[in-house]
Amino acid sequence: MKKILFVCTGNTCRSPMAEALLKEKSDQFDVQSAGIFAFSDGEANPLTVKVLEEKGIRCEHQTQPLTDTLVSWADLILTMTEQHKQNVIEKFRSAEGKTFTFKQYVSDNPSDMDISDPFGGALEQYRKTLQDIETCVNRLLEKIEDKKLEG
């Protein structure tokens, strides 16, 4: 089973959204999320929980910082921004070659590599970010399905 790790800043908004959506849409992956500057055992942002609940997805999330153990565990690391990607590769040399921005990994030619951070924004901003992440999750599943069909 492929192990996918989603990474953002604090592990309270974007990466928990991506983790929850992928777990909801597919059981063919082992999925976790972490934050570059996250604390251990915090909770997802209340607006993150709300927008996921609006989609019928329950979010019982505990924040965790990115560690050597998680980087070693992951087969694929998908970050929310180009800066996250650079931070991961700089801090964890073993992450090179398996770390991509989420948009970079799922799009042939993304015009923007970043998924915007809704932190501190209104509920509508969280909905927009969730929609952006859901588009990437759907493309990820299509890409993996296409690879299965090819070989």
d(CA 62, CA 139): 26
Selected residue with higher pLDDT from 144 and 104: 104
Residue found by looking up tokens 């959204």 in the block: 17
d(CA 148, CA 146): 5
**3-state secondary structure at position 125:** helix
Tell me the Ramachandran region of residue 67: left when phi exceeds 0, alpha when psi lies from -120 to 50, beta otherwise: beta
Beta bridge partners of 35: 8, 65
* 2-150 to CATH, choices 1.10.20.140, 3.40.50.12780, 3.40.50.2300, 3.90.320.10: 3.40.50.2300
DSSP 116: P
* pLDDT(95) > 70: yes
26 backbone dihedrals φ, ψ, rounded to 5°: -155, 145
| Tens digits of residue pLDDT in 123-151 | 999 999 999 999 999 999 999 888 776 65
Supply the mean pLDDT for the chain: 95
d(CA 132, CA 115): 7
pLDDT of residue 150: 65
Active site residues: 8, 14, 117
| Tens digits of residue pLDDT in 44-77 | 999 999 999 999 999 999 999 999 999 999 999 9
Give the containing element (helix H, strand E) for 141.
helix 123-150
Q: Which two tokens stand for residue 102?
A: 């989420």
